[in-house]
């Protein structure tokens, strides 16, 4: 978002350029300055707006996406809402495939409000969590007018964060930070920002945060299926960008999200709570005077009916 902009050509002009906010109560006892990036200020309510516009516009440039095309994606919420938002502005039909076990009414309502089609499906079998991606792949393969954005493997999802999120962090801190902390979803935020920060200053520590019940790193990491899973997540693991991993349970993430609202006036979601809770853990190992930056991925309005640390 260009803060000097008086009249925007469209809502797409309001994506990005999100400032950092200092926490004034939470974490003060650590002696570490914790700065949060309230990415829920993006138009659809999450940092995935950065990814959606980048993927769609790159597909337009390549000729893969054109007037009359239909866009599909498998999503549990934020990417679906962001894709629905950008598609609405640009005039594309968009359909999100959502597993029924996590088809939260708040997240589906946001997508539908932007005019998206939402198809929920039951999951079962060995690779049930990737059923939505398989459906997208099948639909794209049978109809040349359909484009599957492949958020889990699209290189532009990483580039969006490397070129915009990381640049903003470096600019707004004047390049002075000691650690960047972020939850792993598709892995794009951590990989893109991590690559840029390490290039700027290799001493900056990059910390991954993940649900204890669903680890990506370590011996119990998620299994990859070529063309359906892995992608950016595998690149992240193999990149060497991540210096350490913090695992949190739902209770810790939820509790911190509530604290952020009540103590800092920050109305953010559960993964944001996880990021701040992990930042406090990281801060406990630092000497006073250090600075940690983390992202608040989405807004609290998509967790009214169910609170869970999902990435």
- Strands 146-148 vs 179-183: parallel, antiparallel or unpaired: unpaired
First to last CA, the chain: 25
Q: Which pair of tokens denotes residue 77?
A: 């919420």
Instruction: State how far the Cα of 293 lies from the Cα of 181, in Å rounded to an integer.
Output: 6
The Cα–Cα gap between 7 and 202 comes to 39
Q: Is the dihedral of CA 93, 95, 150, 302 positive or negative?
A: positive
What count of other Cβ atoms lies within 10 Å of the Cβ of residue 19? 12
The active-site residue out of 271, 272, 279, 299 is 271
Cα separation of 27 and 264, whole Å? 11
Gyration radius (Cα) of the chain, Å:
19
Max Cα–Cα distance, the chain, nearest Å = 58
Dist. CA 132–CA 118, nearest whole Å: 11
What is the distance between the alpha carbons of residues 227 and 168, in angstroms, rounded to a whole number? 32
CB atoms within 10 A of CB 140: 18
CA angle 178, 182, 187 (to 5 degrees): 125
Which residues lie below 8 Å from residue 265, measured CB to CB, with a gap of 6+?
Answer: none
158 contacts 58 by C-beta, under 8 angstroms = no
The tokens of 295 are what?
A: 């992202």
Give the separation between CA 177 and CA 206, rounded to whole angstroms. Answer: 11
172 is catalytic: no
From the list 37, 44, 46, 48, the catalytic residue is 48
Q: Has 48 been annotated as catalytic?
A: yes
Active site residues: 48, 271
């Amino acid at each position: 978002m260009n803060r000097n902009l008086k009249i925007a050509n469209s809502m797409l002009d309001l994506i990005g350029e999100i400032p950092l906010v200092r926490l004034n109560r939470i974490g003060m006892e650590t002696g570490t300055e914790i700065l949060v990036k309230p990415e829920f200020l993006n138009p659809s309510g999450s940092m995935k707006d950065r990814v959606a516009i980048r993927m769609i516009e790159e597909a337009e440039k390549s000729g893969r996406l054109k007037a009359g095309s239909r866009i599909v994606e498998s999503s549990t919420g934020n990417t679906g809402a962001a894709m629905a938002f950008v598609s609405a502005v640009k005039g594309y039909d968009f359909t999100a495939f959502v597993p029924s076990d996590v088809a939260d009414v708040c997240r589906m309502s946001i997508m539908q409000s932007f005019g998206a089609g939402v198809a929920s499906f039951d999951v079962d079998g060995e690779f049930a969590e990737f059923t939505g991606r398989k459906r997208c792949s099948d639909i794209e393969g049978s109809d040349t007018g359909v484009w599957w954005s492949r958020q889990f493997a699209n290189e532009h999802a990483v580039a969006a964060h490397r070129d915009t999120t990381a640049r903003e962090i470096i600019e707004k801190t004047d390049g002075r930070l000691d650690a960047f902390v972020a939850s792993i979803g598709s892995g794009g935020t951590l990989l893109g920002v991590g690559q840029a920060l390490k290039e700027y200053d290799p001493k900056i520590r990059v910390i991954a945060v993940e649900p204890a019940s669903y680890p990506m790193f370590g011996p119990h990491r998620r299994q990859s299926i070529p063309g359906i899973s892995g992608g950016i997540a595998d690149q992240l693991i193999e990149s060497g960008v991540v210096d350490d991993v913090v695992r949190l349970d739902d209770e810790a993430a939820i509790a911190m999200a509530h604290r952020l609202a009540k103590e800092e006036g920050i109305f953010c979601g559960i993964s944001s709570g996880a990021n701040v809770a992990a930042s406090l853990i990281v801060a406990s190992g630092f000497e006073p005077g250090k600075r940690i930056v983390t992202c608040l991925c989405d807004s609290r309005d998509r967790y009214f009916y169910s609170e869970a640390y999902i990435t």
